[in-house]
Structure 1
Amino acid sequence: MTVNQLLSIKGNKIHSIVSTITVYDALKVMGEKNIGAVLVIEDNILKGVLSERDYARKIVLKNKASKDTYVYEIMETDVETVKPTDDLDYCMELITTKRVRHLPVLVDDLVVGIISIGDVVKAIMEIQKNTIEYLDSYIHGIKA
């Protein structure tokens, strides 16, 4: 399965913010949208990602105030991305080796979607379930 096929199933809704808002305001957006990370996009260009993990490690653990800190101060700027033509095995490899939970999907430097570790795991589990069902019916078909 490709990233494009996964996006066609889950949708390609993108939630984004700009880097000049406070972390507090970004967290409000994340809470309203029920998401664990938000893309930082300015002038249609991906600038970074802000995640709950960034908040926990760079605000809470350092005794900073989210209302006094701007997104650009703590966002991750070295963002791993994928293309719609990439397959899920490649995505899982990136997620595992780079220890990321969210992969923005880019076409010609424009964000067209985002997939999470949960999206990838769910899709792989569905593929495996279908394979098992197919093999089970094949085996039982031979015995009959």
Structure 2
Amino acid sequence: MTVNQILSIKGGEVFSIVSTISVYDALKVMGEKNVGALLVMDNNEIVGILSERDYARKIVLKDKTSKETLVKDIMGTGIITVKPTDDIDYCMGLMSGKRIRHLPVVDDNVVLGVVSIGDIVKAVIEMQKETIHHLDAYINGTQV
């Protein structure tokens, strides 16, 4: 299964913020959109990603305030992206190896969506269900 297939099921809606807003305002967006991370985009270019983990580790645990801290001061940078044609095994390897949970999907410098570790796990489970169904049909001599 490819990233593009995941996006076709999930949708390609991208939630983003600019780097100059407060962390508090970014958290409000996360809550409204019910997401755990937001792309940080300035001038239509990905400059970072802000996650709930960033908030917990860089604001709460350091006694900073979310209303006075800007997103650019705590966002993750050095963003790793994937292409729509990449497969989920590649994504799992990146996520596991780099210890990240979100991968922006980019093609020709256009952000097409974001896949999360949850999206990848769902896709793997669906593929396994399909394999089990085929094996069961083979063993029982029924058609698929």
Q: Which residue of 2 aligns with 1:65?
A: 65
Q: How does 1:49-128 map to 2 (within 5 A)?
A: 49-128=49-128
Give every structure 1 segment of 4 or more consecutive aligned residues whose post-TM-superposition deviation is greater than 3 Å. Answer: none
Q: Secondary structure at the match of 1:104?
A: strand
Equivalent position amino acid for 2:140 in 1: H
Q: Using structure 2 for the length normalisation, give the TM-score.
A: 0.97
| Pairwise CA RMSD | 0.9
Equivalent position amino acid for 2:106 in 1: L
Q: Is the 8 A contact 1:39 1:48 kept in 2?
A: yes
1:120 Cα offset (Å): 0.3
Q: Secondary structure at the match of 1:28?
A: helix
Q: Which residue of 2 aligns with 1:46?
A: 46
1:80 Cα offset (Å): 1.3
Distance 2:139 2:2 in 1: 28
Q: Is the 8 A contact 1:50 1:74 kept in 2?
A: yes
Structure 1's unaligned 5+ residue stretches are: none
Q: Is the 8 A contact 1:13 1:113 kept in 2?
A: yes
Distance 1:43 1:108 in 2: 16
Q: Using structure 1 for the length normalisation, give the TM-score.
A: 0.97
Distance 1:67 1:43 in 2: 23
1:44 Cα offset (Å): 1.2
Task: Calculate percent identity across the aligned residue pairs.
Answer: 66
Q: Is the 8 A contact 1:46 1:110 kept in 2?
A: no
The total of aligned residue pairs comes to: 142
Equivalent position amino acid for 2:80 in 1: E
